Amino acid sequence: MTLIDSGNLYVTNKRILFNGDKSNKVIRYSQIINLTPYTDGVGIVRDTGKESTFQLSEEDGETLIATITRLIGDEQ
C-alpha cells in the first residue's frame, strides 16, 4: 500500500467521515456495497468509485466493521 493521506476517521450513526491532512471524505452507509476487514484497517467499497482503504493505528478492522455493520442495520 501507498500512503495517500493521514488524518482522523470518524464513525457516526449516519456516515463515515475522514478528515485528512490533504482532503476529506464522506461515505454514507447507503453507498456501502462491501466491507473488508484487515488486521490493521478496513476496506470500503462504495456503489461508485474505487475501494477506499483506511489503516488504523489502534483498533483492528474486524471491530470497526462490526460497529459499521450494526449502524447500517440500525439505519434500515
Mind listing the pLDDT tens digit for each residue in 31-74?
A: 999 999 888 889 999 999 888 999 888 767 888 889 999 998 87
Residue 32 resides in a domain: yes
Residue 43 resides in a domain: yes
Taking alpha carbons only, the member of 48, 47, 65 closest to residue 56 is 65
What's the DSSP call for residue 29?
A: G
What's the DSSP call for residue 2?
A: -
Q: What's the number of domains the chain is made of?
A: 1
Tell me which residue range forms the domain holding 64.
Answer: 7-70
Residue 76 resides in a domain: no
Instruction: Give the per-residue pLDDT at 60.
Output: 74
Residue 37: give its domain's CATH number: 2.30.29.30
Q: Assign residue 49 a region: left if phi > 0, alpha if psi is -120 to 50, beta otherwise?
A: left
User: Could you tell me the pTM of the whole model?
Assistant: 0.82
